[in-house]
Homo-oligomer: A and B are copies of this chain.
Amino acid sequence: MKNFHYSIPTEIFFGKGQIQVLGKEIKKYGTRVLLTYGGGSIKRIGLYDEVANILKEHNIDFWELSGIEPNPRIDSVREGVKIIRENEIDFILAVGGGSTIDCSKAIAASYYYDGDPWDLVIRKAKVVDALPLGTVLTLAATGSEMDKGAVITNPETNQKLSFGHISMAPKFSILDPTYTFSVPKIQTAAGVADIMSHTFENYFTLEDGAYLQNRFAEAILKTCIKYGRLALDEPDNYEARANIMWASSWAINGLLSYGKDTNWSVHDIEHELSAFYDITHGIGLAILTPVWMEYVLDDERVDRFVEYGVNVWDIDRSKDKYEIARLAIEKTRDFFKSLEIPMSLREVGIKEEDLEKMAKAAIDNNNGKKIGNFKPLGYEDILNIYRKAY
């Protein structure tokens, strides 16, 4: 196990009705709030009104930044900073999914930087501090509610990049599974795929002595598998929504990654799909994941796939190693299919002639270096994976 510094400062209020703590929690940090959200879904489920009423009851003034996009854009960040500076806002409340939260984190950090926020994303400048931020989560997927990272897109440069700082971790997050009851099937499925992909990125590494962390990872994978389809069939199933929601937070907050190697390749090569085509991140991950697994499977890595197959998919360990590995990959693909996810790049509207451009961009955005740790991927590898996934 490697050395690490573990810190998860975010407090979580989990369960039905926890919105009741909102006013009191915000008042620990401020009284002038930027309320951020995406489209109309929080209005449709009545959450916007609920939040607005709570803020008013607690004499908390608030301004709004709405219309934050999936794959949130740097322009929204700039806009948010402007509103904050003009109105001496001291707290950000993000109500929504990972996109709204990521955008809000970027705004929070940019408040303490005089230059253009994009400088922080591309690491031209360092994050030094961030405005306090709270979240009310409405989608189980990115884990942004309990970690310190944010992913921001710049459509002008076709870049989708992640950055983070401990100050960007939410002070608190309210996780009420009932807010996810109305999430459409495809978004629910994409969320589950995202959670599983975060887990895979931490799980698939060469032997690193982090046994406990890998068993924790399997716990999250099993949870996604048990409840993923159920959440589609019974969108109001509290147990399913709750387990998936809580899994989303733990897949990426550090529990699985501190003390061990991590991989992070599928995310990076998926980011180009979202950057070029604005497709749903989790869908891109689901398409690429089984192809990536097949692509990296070899003698040096087969044991990790055996571990995955036996521990997660309950495959008989007496079978041949490669048989277990291939079965596990097949089950992974079948699972995503069972969530009604289109399983090829073609089906989501990506043009074949763009594959080379995207593969090149993936490498460029990694400063020209190979991507990932488990089996580093160069330009040809990425292009091959895109083609096999087409």
Interface on A for B, CB 8 Å cutoff? 1-9, 11-18, 21, 177, 209-212, 215-216, 218-220, 222-223, 226-227, 238-239, 242-243, 246-247, 250, 255, 258-259
Minimum CB distance partner of A221 in chain B: B215
Partner of A209, one of B4, B16, B219, B242: B242
| CB-contact partner of A215 in B11, B12, B13, B223, under 8 A | B223
Q: Which residues of B contact A250 (CB under 8 A)?
A: 212
One of B7, B211, B223, B238 near A11 (C-beta < 8 A): B7
Q: Is the CB of B14 within 8 A of A258?
A: yes
Question: A1 touches which one: B9, B222, B246 (CB < 8 A)?
Answer: B246
Determine the residue in chain B with the shortest Cβ distance to A173. Answer: B6
* Chain B neighbourhood of A211, CB < 8 A: 223, 226-227, 239, 243
User: Contact: A259 with B239, CB < 8 Å?
Assistant: no
Looking at the assembled complex, report how far the CB atom of A169 sits from the nearest CB atom of chain B, in whole angstroms. 12
Chain B, Cβ-Cβ closest to A2? B15
* Given A3-B18, A18-B3, A218-B219, CB of A243 within 8 Å of CB of B12: no
CB of B12 within 8 A of CB of A6, answer yes
Do B212 and A215 touch (CB < 8 A)? no
In Å, the complex CA distance between A218 and B6 comes to 22
Known: A212-B247, A223-B215. A6 touches B14 (CB 8 A): yes
Cross-chain pairs A/B with CB under 8 angstroms, 17 sampled = A1-B15, A1-B243, A1-B246, A5-B11, A5-B13, A7-B12, A9-B9, A14-B259, A209-B239, A209-B243, A211-B223, A211-B226, A212-B223, A215-B218, A215-B222, A218-B219, A219-B219
* Nearest CB of B to A359, in Å: 36
Tell me the bound Cα distance from A219 to B220 in angstroms.
11
Q: Which residue of B lies closest to A15 (CB)?
A: B3
| 7 residue pairs, one from A and one from B, having the closest CB atoms | A3-B15, A215-B219, A6-B12, A1-B242, A209-B239, A7-B11, A212-B223
Within the complex, which residue of B14, B177, B222, B255 is in contact with A4, where a contact is CB–CB below 8 Å? B14
User: Quick check: B12 and A5 within 8 Å, CB to CB?
Assistant: yes
Inter-chain pairs besides A6-B11, A6-B13, A255-B255, 19 sampled, C-beta below 8 Å? A1-B15, A3-B14, A4-B15, A5-B11, A5-B12, A6-B12, A209-B238, A209-B242, A211-B243, A212-B220, A212-B247, A212-B250, A215-B219, A215-B220, A215-B223, A216-B216, A218-B219, A242-B259, A246-B259
CA distance A11 to B7 in the complex (A): 5
Which residues of the partner chain B approach A216 to less than 8 Å between Cβ atoms? 216, 219
By beta carbon, the residue of chain B nearest A317 is B314
Nearest B residue to A18 via CB reads: B3
Contact check, A239 vs B12: say whether CB atoms are below 8 A apart.
no
Give the contacting residue for A3; candidates B17, B215, B247; CB below 8 A. B17
